[in-house]
Structure formats: structure tokens, C-alpha cells
């Protein structure tokens, strides 16, 4: 009789033979588990009593994930962090905090108020970042919905629309209206590559009408979707006149905000941690008992036959730690300056990765003027170098608020990095004045983080130029000599996202678990 092996039965057999790690990997291979999670509880083999030592280089999110998981599996873990603080790029700045920028450190002068803070690194968590959400849930970190796009916010471009900010709702509605009108005309003329039936043409006409809010003749005359120009409650509404098609085309909003929320990572609804995104870091710290050595800068990484030696400088003293395995989240662009005997091809891979640039500025505003303009959360887009203005989704109707006054990620010119902190605030204030009346008058204080100048970072969001990812990625996911794991969002397809950082940790942990299980089997048999 033919036996049918169901996938569930097969996984049970795999589990019996190789433990939960093997089940996890096999589930992935069979396509039974989404690559983006949910991250299974990593049931790593317990090594208590067999003293396996671990060094984690860097106390950012990837390092803390490794510490949390390995500690629970009985490993002996030490974390070595160069900075004075834990969290790496997960940085929430509050009253009295020091921003450790090379050559010009700043102290945050926001009011001493738990609602006034600025997420200088991560600020958004999408619903498909299941690993991040897994830890938020496991560690009891609260989450709230964050408005990302806001239709009442603005698009402002210099020399467009008479130099006046336009409501996003109007741009979106009019752009859709005009495109739908074109589609309707194309249907009327039946100018398609393949013949269309009369029914199909009618369906397309109806689609165009509904998509663009066209009149019965297929014309766009403006729409309520663009928002009320005035009235509409106790008096009849007055709608906006549609923008001119030329204005729409000349504006480059379609490059910036038009489809922003259609990128899954920015798709509504997003989430955030109330009180600051470092809430997840704090939760890890509460749940990790292993020593975290701060102000300890790694200076050498030496592979040995049976482990790894780490040399670091702490408070002016050189210290050495010899461990069985090392997990390294130090930004790859630093590894050339850290003495090491990592294989030449491995180093070529690390050198191929280039640091990205990121810049954010937080401004404490003495009044929440944007709420008077009908804006509650979300962002304004602009072609000025500040890029965006974000309005807080929290603290609605309170007196003050912290606005993100500038956000640049893809500008490699170092424009803001070259400025002093005061110049950055002045620059952003000028840009803001073109969008909101008397914006600059509301600014009480500001603090900026130019990641390209931050100590122990000197960049963010690693880039893989050309074909470097194809060449080196798989190799860098493997441990050098079976002992040294490179981790962090830099070793992921999602650099600049926490999900990438935790994902890289997960891959490394599963690999270690497999090696340790295999080694234990040999010892037991042998
Ligand atoms: C501007 C910005 C916006 C972002 N927005 C989002 C977002 O909205 N959502 C999201 O999910 N993610 C976002 N991210 C990405 C997120 O912050 C990262 O993916 C994540 O924090 C990376 O964690 P990591 O452990 O890989 O690296 P890091 O946090 O960079 O950790 C590396 C650690 O190594 C330490 N180190 C460096 N040199 C040494 C040395 N020689 N010795 C010892 N330690 C050393 C560093 O101090 C640091 O603590 C954003 C990042 C930035 C910068």
C-alpha cells in the first residue's frame, strides 16, 4: 500500500530528528512559513552545563536579540559596546540627552516632559515586520497606530503652484481625476492594443468614472475627495477648483509622496511605541541579565582554531575576551580599521558594503499649530532639502509637540552633516516658514542627528552597490571559520529597518544552533 507522507507528518519526522531549528528551516524551505514571519519562538537547544561562551559586539537591536535568545538557551554571553549608551541606531532623544556627534555633541533642551521626545532613528513599524512585532508582544511593549500619510497635510514645492503649499488630498484627487479622464477618452476612442469587447469598454468607462470621480460625460470637474474649500456642514459645501493639468505635471509630488503609502513598509496602518521607539530596547535590557560593557571599543577580532579573541579598549585600558563564538554588529565600514584575521574574501564582502546617510531634526513647538490646520499626524512633503515635516500622532490637543523638522535618507552630499546644530535649526525654520505661517516663531528648541557624523556609526543604512549583494551576501551570512557571525540590518535585504536587524540575528542563531547540535551529536556518539 502506498503511504502518503503529509507535510505535517514530514515536519514531525524532521522535528524528531533535528529539533525545532530544523523544523523552522524546513518550513521555510517548503514555503510553509512566510519569510517575514511570524518568527517562531526560537527553541534553541539548551547548552547549560556545557559552558559555551559568546561575545556580542555592539548593543544595538541585533546584538540584544542574540543576547536575549542565547541567554535563555544557557550560553554565557558578554556584550561589548563602544558607545556610552545601549540601542545603537534605535535612538529616542529627550530632555537632557547627549547626542554624540563627532566634534559637536549636543544636549537636548526639550522640556522635561515624557510626551516631548524625538525618534532620531526608527519611528515606524509596519504590520508585516513580524519579527519586531514578535518581540514587542513577547516583551510586553505597547504599540499604537501611527499616522504616516495624511491627506490634509501639504505638498510644497518651490516655484510650483504659485509658491503655495497644496493639500495632499487635492493633489491626489486631481491627479487621479485627470488620469481617469484620459482613460475615459482612450475608451471612447477605443485605442487599445488588443480589440476590446463592448462590455469591457463599458466596464473600463465605469472604472474610470469611479476611480477619478468623473461626471457622466467622463470629465473631471473637481471632487469632494480633494476636501472642502469651505462650509459643508450647516451651509452648502464649496469645493476646490481642480488644479491645472500642467501644474500637476510640473510639480514633482508624483516622485515623492504620490505612492509613498503603497510601499509595504510605509503602508497604513503603521505602528509606533508610545513614549519613544527605544521602548523595545528598554524591554530587552530588562530581560537580558548578561553583562553589557559600555564605553568599550573593539579594536581587534582574532579567529583562533577553537574560538575568537576580542580585544577592546575600556576606559583607557586594553582588555581581552576569549570566547567560543562571536556575533559582530559593528558597522561593516569600521572593520578595516579593526585588526582582524578574517578571510580575505570575507573582508572584501564587508568592504563592498557602503554606509548610507540619514538625517533627522526634531523641533519642540510651543503650540500645536498644525492641528488648527486640520492636521493630526502624518507628513508634509517638500522639495526643499528638509524633505519632509512629520506631525506627531500622539499628544493630540496638548499644548506642545515635537515635530520632525527634516528627514533626509538618500542625500549623500552631506548637506546637513556640514552644518552646526544651530545652522540646521535655522535652515529648517526657513523652509518651514514657506509651508506654515510663522512656523519659525513656534520653535522653542531643536536637536538633530546626522548619522554620518555620529560616533561609532559614521553612517546608517548600509548600501550594496552594483552586484555586491549577489557576490557576497550568502558568504557574509555564514560564520567566518564557523565562529564569527556578522549580523545587523547590514546583513539583510532590509537595511535601515529593525526587521532586517532581527532577521539577521535569527539566521545567525539558527546556524549556531545547528552547529552546536551537530557537535553535541558527535560528542555523544563518540
Ligand atoms: C534615520 C533612521 C530612520 C530609521 N527608521 C526606521 C523605521 O522607521 N523603522 C525601522 O524598523 N527601522 C528604522 N531604522 C533602522 C533601525 O534603526 C536599524 O535597522 C536598527 O536599529 C539596526 O540595528 P543593528 O543592531 O543592526 O545595528 P546598530 O543599531 O547600528 O548597532 C551597532 C552597534 O555597534 C556599536 N559599535 C560600533 N563600533 C563599535 C566598536 N568598535 N566596538 C563595539 N561596538 C561598536 C554601535 O555603537 C552600535 O550600538 C532607521 C534608522 C535610521 C538611522
pLDDT tens track for 91-145: 999 999 999 999 999 999 999 999 999 999 999 999 999 999 999 999 999 999 9
To test the pocket of ligand 1, the residue of 36, 55, 56, 58 to mutate (highest count of ligand atoms within 8 Å of its CB) is 58
Domain regions of the chain by residue span: 1-33, 39-86+279-353+465-525, 92-152+358-453, 160-251
Q: Which atom of ligand 1 is nearest to the CA of 359?
A: 1
Where is pLDDT greater, at 26 or 3?
26
* pTM score above 0.95: no
DSSP assignment of 329-389 equals -S-GGGGGGSEE---HHHHHHHHH-EEE--EEEEEEESS-HHHHTT--SEEEEESSTT-EE
Say if 92-152+358-453 and 160-251 have the same CATH topology: no
Residue 433 above 60 pLDDT?
Answer: yes
If you measure from the C-alpha of residue 470 to the centroid of ligand 1, how many angstroms do you get, rounded to a whole number? 23
In angstroms, what CA-CA distances link 159 with 162, 292, 299?
A: 6, 52, 51
Residue 194 above 50 pLDDT?
Answer: yes
Residue 1 above 50 pLDDT?
Answer: no
Beta strands in 135-281 (DSSP E): 144-146, 154-156, 166-167, 228-230, 238-239, 270-272
Residue 49: its pLDDT value, please? 85
Fold of domain 92-152+358-453: Polyamine Oxidase; Chain A, domain 2 (3.90.660)
Residue 5: its pLDDT value, please? 52
Residue 261 above 50 pLDDT?
Answer: yes
pLDDT band at 9 (very low <50, low <70, confident <90, very high): low
If you measure from the C-alpha of residue 64 to the centroid of ligand 1, how many angstroms do you get, rounded to a whole number? 11
Fold of domain 160-251: de novo design (two linked rop proteins) (1.20.1440)
Encode 434-451: b = buried (16+ Cβ within 10 Å), e = exposed.
Answer: ebbeebeebbebbbbbbb
If you measure from the C-alpha of residue 409 to the centroid of ligand 1, how many angstroms do you get, rounded to a whole number? 14
If you measure from the C-alpha of residue 376 to the centroid of ligand 1, how many angstroms do you get, rounded to a whole number? 29
If you measure from the C-alpha of residue 231 to the centroid of ligand 1, how many angstroms do you get, rounded to a whole number? 48
Residue 24 above 60 pLDDT?
Answer: no
Where is pLDDT greater, at 471 or 192?
471
Residue 35 above 80 pLDDT?
Answer: no
Residue 520: its pLDDT value, please? 84
Residue 2: its pLDDT value, please? 44
To test the pocket of ligand 1, the residue of 67, 68, 80, 88 to mutate (highest count of ligand atoms within 8 Å of its CB) is 88
| Residue range 41-54: mean pLDDT, rounded | 90
| Residue range 79-99: mean pLDDT, rounded | 98
> Which residues fall within 8 angstroms of residue 445, CB to CB, at 6 or more apart?
108, 109, 110, 363, 364
Alpha helices in 231-291 (DSSP H): 245-250, 253-256, 279-287
Q: 39-86+279-353+465-525: which CATH number, 3.50.50.60, 3.40.640.10, 3.20.20.140, 2.60.120.200?
A: 3.50.50.60
Q: Which atom of ligand 1 is nearest to the CA of 460?
A: 53
Spatial distance between the Cα atoms of 454 and 462, rounded to a whole number of angstroms: 15
Spatial distance between the Cα atoms of 212 and 177, rounded to a whole number of angstroms: 4
In angstroms, what CA-CA distances link 378 with 113, 124, 279, 391, 434?
A: 22, 11, 21, 6, 18
Sign of CA dihedral 492, 502, 149, 278: negative
Spatial distance between the Cα atoms of 442 and 63, rounded to a whole number of angstroms: 40
Residue 465 above 60 pLDDT?
Answer: yes
Residue 337: its pLDDT value, please? 96
Residue 358: name the closest of 313, 285, 306, 416 by CA. Answer: 416
To test the pocket of ligand 1, the residue of 36, 62, 86, 89 to mutate (highest count of ligand atoms within 8 Å of its CB) is 89
Spatial distance between the Cα atoms of 125 and 128, rounded to a whole number of angstroms: 8
Mean pLDDT estimate for the chain: 92
Residue 389: its pLDDT value, please? 98
Residue 11 above 80 pLDDT?
Answer: no
Residue 39 above 90 pLDDT?
Answer: no
| Residue range 478-507: mean pLDDT, rounded | 97
| Residue range 330-353: mean pLDDT, rounded | 98
Residue 200: its pLDDT value, please? 94
Sign of CA dihedral 509, 511, 512, 516: positive
**Ligand 1 pocket, residues with Cβ under 6 angstroms:** 57-63, 80-83, 88-90, 121-125, 297-298, 329-331, 334, 358, 360, 451, 456, 460, 488-489, 496-501
Going by alpha carbons, the residue nearest to atom 2 of ligand 1 is 121
Residue 375: its pLDDT value, please? 98
29-38, 302-311, 456-465: the lowest-pLDDT one: 29-38
pLDDT band at 436 (very low <50, low <70, confident <90, very high): very high
Amino acid at each position: 500500500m502506498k503511504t502518503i507522507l503529509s507535510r505535517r507528518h514530514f515536519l514531525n519526522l524532521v522535528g524528531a530528528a533535528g529539533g525545532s531549528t530544523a523544523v523552522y528551516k524546513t518550513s521555510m524551505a517548503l514555503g510553509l512559513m512566510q519569510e517575514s514571519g511570524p518568527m517562531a519562538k526560537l527553541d534553541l537547544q539548551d547548552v547549560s552545563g556545557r559552558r559555551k561562551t559568546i561575545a556580542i559586539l555592539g548593543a544595538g537591536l541585533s546584538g540584544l536579540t542574540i543576547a536575549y535568545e542565547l541567554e535563555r538557551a544557557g550560553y554565557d554571553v558578554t556584550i561589548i559596546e563602544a558607545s556610552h549608551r545601549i540601542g545603537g541606531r534605535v535612538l529616542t532623544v529627550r530632555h537632557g540627552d547627549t547626542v554624540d556627534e563627532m566634534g559637536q555633541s549636543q544636549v537636548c533642551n526639550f522640556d522635561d516632559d515624557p510626551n516631548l521626545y524625538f525618534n532620531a532613528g526608527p519611528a515606524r513599524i509596519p504590520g508585516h515586520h513580524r519579527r519586531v512585532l514578535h518581540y514587542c508582544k513577547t516583551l510586553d511593549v505597547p504599540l499604537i497606530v501611527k499616522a504616516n500619510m495624511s491627506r490634509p497635510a501639504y505638498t510644497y514645492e518651490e516655484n510650483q503652484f504659485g509658491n503655495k503649499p497644496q493639500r495632499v488630498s487635492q493633489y491626489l484627487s486631481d491627479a487621479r481625476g485627470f488620469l481617469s479622464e484620459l482613460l475615459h477618452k482612450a475608451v471612447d476612442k477605443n485605442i487599445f492594443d488588443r480589440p476590446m469587447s463592448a462590455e469591457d469598454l463599458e466596464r473600463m468607462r465605469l472604472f474610470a468614472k469611479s476611480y477619478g470621480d468623473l461626471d457622466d460625460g467622463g470629465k473631471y470637474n473637481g471632487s469632494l475627495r480633494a476636501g472642502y474649500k469651505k462650509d459643508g456642514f450647516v451651509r452648502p459645501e464649496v469645493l476646490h477648483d481642480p488644479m491645472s493639468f500642467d501644474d500637476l505635471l510640473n510639480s514633482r509630488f508624483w516622485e515623492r509622496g504620490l505612492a509613498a503609502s503603497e510601499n509595504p513598509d510605509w503602508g497604513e496602518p503603521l505602528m509606533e511605541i508610545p513614549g519613544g521607539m527605544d521602548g523595545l530596547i528598554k524591554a530587552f535590557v530588562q530581560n537580558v541579565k548578561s553583562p553589557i560593557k559600555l564605553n568599550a571599543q573593539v579594536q581587534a577580532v582574532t579567529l583562533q582554531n577553537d574560538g575568537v579573541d576580542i580585544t577592546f579598549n575600556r576606559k583607557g585600558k586594553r582588555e581581552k575576551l576569549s570566547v567560543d563564538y562571536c556575533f559582530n554588529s559593528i558597522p561593516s565600514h569600521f572593520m578595516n580599521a579593526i585588526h582582524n584575521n578574517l578571510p580575505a574574501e570575507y573582508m572584501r564582502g564587508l568592504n563592498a558594503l557602503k554606509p548610507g546617510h540619514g538625517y533627522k531634526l526634531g523641533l519642540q513647538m510651543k503650540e500645536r499649530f498644525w492641528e488648527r490646520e486640520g492636521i493630526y499626524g502624518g507628513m508634509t512633503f517638500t522639495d526643499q532639502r528638509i524633505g519632509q515635516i512629520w506631525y506627531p500622532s500622539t499628544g493630540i490637543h496638548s499644548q506642545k509637540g515635537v515635530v520632525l523638522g527634516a528627514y533626509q535618507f538618500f542625500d549623500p552630499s552631506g548637506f546637513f552633516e556640514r552644518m552646526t546644530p544651530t545652522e540646521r535649526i535655522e535652515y529648517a525654520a526657513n523652509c518651514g516658514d514657506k509651508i506654515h505661517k510663522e512656523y519659525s516663531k513656534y520653535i522653542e528648541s531643536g536637536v538633530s542627528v546626522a548619522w554620518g557624523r555620529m560616533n561609532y556609526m559614521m553612517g546608517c543604512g548600509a548600501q550594496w552597490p552594483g552586484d555586491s549583494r549577489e557576490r557576497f551576501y550568502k558568504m557574509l551570512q555564514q560564520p567566518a571559520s564557523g565562529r564569527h557571525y556578522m549580523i545587523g540590518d547590514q546583513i539583510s535585504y532590509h537595511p535601515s529597518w529593525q526587521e532586517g536587524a532581527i532577521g539577521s540575528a535569527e539566521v545567525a542563531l539558527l546556524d549556531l544552533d545547528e552547529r552546536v547540535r551537530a557537535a553535541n551529536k558527535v560528542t555523544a556518539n563518540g
